Structure 1
Amino acid sequence: MNFLKCILLLCLLLLLTGCWDRNELAKTSIVTGMAVDKGESFKYKLTIETTEAREMTALTATGLASSNVASLEGNTIGELVSKFNVVNATIPIYSHMRVLVISEELAKDGMLDFMDFFDRNRQIRDDFLIVIARTGKAGDILNVNNMYKKSPSLKLFTQLTTMQKDWGGAPDIKLNDYTRIYNSEGQAPVLPAVQLIGDPKKGGNIENLKSEAPDNQVKVNSLAAFKNGKLAGYASLYEVRDLLFVQGKIKSTSIDAKCVDEKKKFEYRVTHSTTKITAKEVKGIPNFYIKIKTEGILDGTECLTKLGNAGAFESFELSINKTMEKEIKEFIKKTKEEFNADIFGLGDLLREQDYKNFKKYKDTWDDGYAKAKMHVDFNSEIKRSGLRKERYIENK
């Protein structure tokens, strides 16, 4: 009987778990951002930002730096990550990383093979944002402290997320999105682009954190389009919004359009947007029928139109539709002529809806996209005029 009890106890021991891979909090540091540049002596230069938890909250802050930024050069990102303790005293924890910044120089040369490491590594989640640093070093982006978020990476993550939600000026591209689109047969990847404004050497200065008008800021200003793994060009913030309208990803935005006399303007706040695209080949030409329907409110007006009159909103809606249809068509033309890349994912829609004809473009969709015809129908509907019906400034 005692023998059976011993066997049972031994079996129960197998069910107990231990902390064989535990790390003491005092010996670890949380990585919130990473940046990759071309190295001077080696292929890559990796910059990592780690945070000091005690300095992130007012209750425990002592006035020391809330984050630490360090760099190391090597030939592979995996090598650099594993030996980063050459410059870092604690064990880096990568599972909470929020932003990966890639230099424009690397993007132009197509040196993005290191993305395979991030996609494969089990210690790094796939929910961080990827951005391109224009006209400068990617590592400098992680050196710009700010008043809103003490960590540059956390501030940039919030900045991009809010921009996409409130205005539609930044695509929500995370690692899994980039990987899926990169391997797609009918879509080219895009990434938001940021630019450092000011002197890079002053970004980490504590005075920059205290100043009402900082000497150094990170600005979200464009979209980077890729072709065959290399940077093909940039799109403006307004063109980013056009992209998101076509993809049906606009949550909210503001559109300004001309009044009837075309000398004044009004603003239309989009509160709801849906997009329906029909793709089919007609006489050997891929055709895409893009129907965008929006609802919103009149956000402000300089027009002299009496809003109390029946059908007063019709002229506003016609102006909005005309403006956006022209804007979207011009951007599609730009992607054909300058990028020669389908960043909208229209090829994937043709594959889903007309696979029989898409098969001939399977390996050469760029050729199909270049000759494709686009039919854009923008339909706006102003639901209300806000808290006021007529303009508070009467026409004198």
Structure 2
Amino acid sequence: MKKKVLCFLLSLQLLFLTGCWDQRELAAVSMAIGMAVDVGENGLYKITVEAINPAELNDQTASGNAPSVVFTLEGNTMSEIAHKMNIGFSKSLIFSHMKTVIISKEIAEKGMLQFIDFLERNREIRDDFNFIMVDEGKAADVLKVLYTIQKSSSLKLTRQMSTGSKLWGSDPDIRLTDFVNALTATGREPVMATVHISGNPKKGASMDNLKKSELDAIVEIDSLAMFRDEKFVGTLPIEQTRDYLWTQNKIKMTIVSVPCGNENYMALRIIHSRTKVKGDIQNGKPHIKLSIRAEGYINGNFCGPYPLNESSSYLMYEKKVEDYLKEQIGKMIHKVQKEYGVDIFGFGETVEQQNPKKYKKYKENWDEAFQQAQIDIETDIKIRRAGLTSKGALLRKK
């Protein structure tokens, strides 16, 4: 009896040692790390996929060949195209490590629900990739532009977006989940970063682009795209993208160049920032209050003979920065209210969270209410130090 029980237990263990039913050998697959979506000529979509050549991304094994392979296919559904990609690719594609999805402006204007549905449903595709729009030309061209340091276009864009977000505030850091959550919310509209190709896209796709210090083409972060529901309505320039990020409490670090007359500026490096938002309905219209607290140090100063070993100079500069930020952020919000009428800031969400009963009346027509909203901005800036010297070259020269 004991032998029978032992044999049964051993047989049961073997069931758990059979491996993965859907395993695929590394030699039989290719990693898709980037996807571009354009309007098709013979179908609804034209999809371009970038698959990496791993050997060329390693300095020890690189032999000067192309770092990635790009292939384009048309079809009427994303699922159809993804499964037909082996018309061109020799190996089975894996989408689980995809870093970037780029859409053309034409796709954004047309509407994106169909291919977003595919991206959400596909069990292989994770939601941690960068979601980006190209403002001019084809999305496919962005995937073809090579870059010396990160040879793959998708890997370069991933690092570029992350660095831009941390050091200046040029990327809203939008993933698929962020876009879908804003799309389905009643008090927020979606946004995403946009890029453009500076230079000649055809020359940028050549291997010669990897051998030049001054590139024939380079992909640059351009602006912030705004949407109403699933459709593109307009953009904010890169400077106002940062102003938008102030409202979202997403500024990690940046440089604020404050004018002080006669084409002179004072540069303040922000190292800590925090934004709080309060929302209410008062006298029949939304009332939003933004409180921005930040601190930093002077990173350059040509604003006159105000020595930074005196507290009065610090107070004067702090006031200049506070007024400047308040003005710039206010202009950006007013522009979105009056020109586009879309609440990309999530002010409706804030009102709903803090005053749900009052918000209920405006829920169905929040964008109209947002256009009439009163926005109050409060800024509090603290300058902690003046860099390595309290007297810059301007004062020492005098």
Q: Displacement of 1:26 after TM fit?
A: 1.6
Q: Secondary structure at the match of 1:83?
A: helix
1:196 matched to which residue of 2? 197
- Separation in 1, partners of 2:101, 2:263: 44
- Separation in 2, partners of 1:144, 1:8: 58
Matched AA of 1:66 = P
Per-residue CA deviations over 1:223-251 (Å, capped at 9, x if unaligned) read: 10001211110001111111111111100
Q: Displacement of 1:310 after TM fit?
A: 3.0
1:278 matched to which residue of 2? 278
Is contact 1:233–1:338 with CA below 8 Å preserved after alignment?
A: no
- Separation in 2, partners of 1:72, 1:356: 50
Per-residue CA deviations over 1:159-194 (Å, capped at 9, x if unaligned) read: 011001100111010111111111111000000000
Q: Displacement of 1:262 after TM fit?
A: 5.3
Q: Displacement of 1:293 after TM fit?
A: 0.6
2:296 matched to which residue of 1? 296
- Separation in 2, partners of 1:76, 1:12: 43
1:77 matched to which residue of 2? 78
Within 5 A, what are the aligned runs for 1:169-248?
169-248=170-249
Per-residue CA deviations over 1:308-348 (Å, capped at 9, x if unaligned) read: 22311111111111111111111111111222100111110
- Separation in 2, partners of 1:66, 1:366: 46
Bigger drift between 27-36 and 301-310 goes to 301-310
Within 5 A, what are the aligned runs for 1:73-222?
73-222=74-223
Q: Displacement of 1:5 after TM fit?
A: 3.9
- Separation in 1, partners of 2:18, 2:342: 52
- Separation in 1, partners of 2:238, 2:113: 24
Q: Percent sequence identity over matched residues?
A: 38
1:31 matched to which residue of 2? 32
1:267 matched to which residue of 2? 267
Q: Secondary structure at the match of 1:364?
A: helix
Q: Displacement of 1:112 after TM fit?
A: 4.0
- Separation in 2, partners of 1:59, 1:306: 54
- Separation in 2, partners of 1:263, 1:53: 50
Q: Secondary structure at the match of 2:309?
A: coil
Matched AA of 1:291 = S
Q: Displacement of 1:273 after TM fit?
A: 0.4
Q: Secondary structure at the match of 2:275?
A: strand
Matched AA of 1:134 = D
Is contact 1:106–1:112 with CA below 8 Å preserved after alignment?
A: no
- Separation in 2, partners of 1:50, 1:41: 24
- Separation in 1, partners of 2:51, 2:194: 22
Is contact 2:190–2:229 with CA below 8 Å preserved after alignment?
A: no
Matched AA of 1:283 = N
User: Given the superposition, is the C-alpha separation of residues 3 and 249 from structure 1 closer, same or farther in structure 2, using an over 3 Å criterion?
Assistant: same
2:345 matched to which residue of 1? 344
Is contact 1:227–1:339 with CA below 8 Å preserved after alignment?
A: no
- Separation in 2, partners of 1:3, 1:286: 75
1:361 aligned to 2:362? yes
> Mind listing any 5+ residue stretches in structure 1 that lack a counterpart?
none
Matched AA of 2:358 = N
Per-residue CA deviations over 1:80-106 (Å, capped at 9, x if unaligned) read: 111110111111111110000000111
- Separation in 1, partners of 2:158, 2:140: 15
TM-score with structure 2 length normalisation?
Answer: 0.97
Cα root mean square deviation, aligned: 1.3
Q: Secondary structure at the match of 1:352?
A: helix
TM-score with structure 1 length normalisation?
Answer: 0.97
- Separation in 2, partners of 1:228, 1:20: 40
1:310 matched to which residue of 2? 311
- Separation in 2, partners of 1:263, 1:55: 48
Matched AA of 1:351 = E
Is contact 1:307–1:313 with CA below 8 Å preserved after alignment?
A: yes
Matched AA of 1:303 = C
2:376 matched to which residue of 1? 375
Per-residue CA deviations over 1:111-131 (Å, capped at 9, x if unaligned) read: 442111111111011100100
Q: Which has the higher helix share?
A: 2
- Separation in 2, partners of 1:363, 1:17: 54
Q: Secondary structure at the match of 2:364?
A: coil
Within 5 A, what are the aligned runs for 1:34-53?
34-53=35-54
1:322 matched to which residue of 2? 323
Q: Secondary structure at the match of 1:102?
A: strand
2:388 matched to which residue of 1? 387
Q: Displacement of 1:3 after TM fit?
A: 3.9
Q: Secondary structure at the match of 2:394?
A: coil
> Mind listing any 5+ residue stretches in structure 2 that lack a counterpart?
none
Q: Displacement of 1:263 after TM fit?
A: 4.3
- Separation in 2, partners of 1:389, 1:6: 82
Per-residue CA deviations over 1:28-87 (Å, capped at 9, x if unaligned) read: 111110000011111100000000111111111122111000000000111111111011
Matched AA of 2:271 = T
2:334 matched to which residue of 1? 333
